[in-house]
Structure 1
């Protein structure tokens, strides 16, 4: 397993782990007719999140090493905001899938599905923070608003799944 070297890779790897957990839960829920299809969707999300760890590291390293004046440095930092935004998107999708899995899975695994959703929501918020603190991104930047909205939606979805089990 990869190790995280910063907040972006940490959020990406934890998102991938949450998706992997959901795949296993869905696959094991034999009474759920759509379980195998949902497991495949979770595996796809895992495969989407995993490479974002390395992309996040590379984008940050390129931004830190950027030379050539304000434009080149600004462009490098603007590009460094893209992997965290992709992590937010993937994590929000995992949180949404977790709610579905929690609703339909074997009741003995419901808490695990809820946990995966809560982890994914936390990852979405962590990655949204990385988008927001990017040196070239302003508070009015559409990427900041999108990341915050997705992270907030992920948190609401995960919390609704948690509340539904009570």
Structure 2
């Protein structure tokens, strides 16, 4: 499998992104996959909104919002990869002569690495709740697409929240980010339950 490490994740074909995801390299990993999954969900949400102009007076606004958050969350895939590389670099620092400086650098990098999936979880939660609303009120012919958007976004939020929890535990960080991400994942899951999903 030939993997081009220098190409931007957002500029490579889907098959190349999948190859990079499967390659024996640290990034992209779970955070990048969650971000791209959330971006796909936002794309489906935008499509469902665009086909719902008869049913939703604010369909155009909803579609434009979906486009903005799709771009925003997709960019987090690249940021997540960079944040994880910084974590690896911090762990690679020598333990001597200053183990405390190394520990501070590790904690700082883990804090940064936890912030990106927190953003992913929060954006994905927003996508999920909006998609459920469009599924309920929008064009019934696009209900399946809106429901797929909500399902993908919920999965992305849950995956991102778990990554935050792991980074917070590993770095013995303040639990605020983990709580925010968990709340976002719970909100998305509750929207799915209200719609009749799981």
TM-score of the two chains, using structure 1 as the length reference: 0.91
Query: For the residues of structure 1 that align with 2:84 and 2:52, how far apart are their CA atoms?
Result: 40
Aligned to 1:88: 121
Offset of residue 155 of structure 1: 0.7
Alpha-carbon distance in structure 2 between the residues aligned to 1:100 and 1:158: 10
User: How many residue pairs align between the two structures?
Assistant: 162
Write the deviation string for residues 81-129 of structure 1: whole angstroms up to 9, x where unpaired.
1111010011001011101211222111112111110110111000000
Distance apart, 1:158 and its partner CA = 2.1
> Equivalents in 1 of 2:172, 2:125: separation in Å?
21
Matched, 1:74 2:110: no
Indicate the structure (1 or 2) with the bigger Cα radius of gyration. Answer: 2
Counterpart Cα distance in 1 of 2:123 and 2:152: 12
Q: Runs (4+) of structure 1 moved beyond 3 Å?
A: none
| Structure with the higher helix share, 1 or 2 | 1
Structure 1 partner of 2:179: 145
CA distance, structure 2, for counterparts of residue 159 and residue 8 of structure 1: 24
Q: How does 1:54-73 map to 2 (within 5 A)?
A: 54-66=78-90, 67=93, 69-73=102-106
- Tell whether the 8 Å contact from 1:137 to 1:144 is kept in structure 2 after alignment: no
In structure 2, the partner of 1:12 is 35
Gapped regions of structure 1 (runs ≥ 5): none
Gaps in structure 2 of 5+ consecutive residues: 1-12, 22-27, 94-100
Alignment of 1:9-158 (within 5 A): 9-31=32-54, 32-66=56-90, 67=93, 69-134=102-167, 135-137=170-172, 141-158=175-192
Contact 1:92 1:121 in 2 (8 A): yes
Once superposed, what is the RMSD of the aligned Cα atoms? 1.5
Deviations 1:113-155 (A, max 9, x none): 11110110111000000000112145x6111111111101111
Preserved contact between residue 106 and residue 171 of structure 2 (Cα < 8 Å): no
Normalising by structure 2, report the TM-score: 0.77
> Quick one: distance in 2 between partners of 1:48 and 1:159?
26
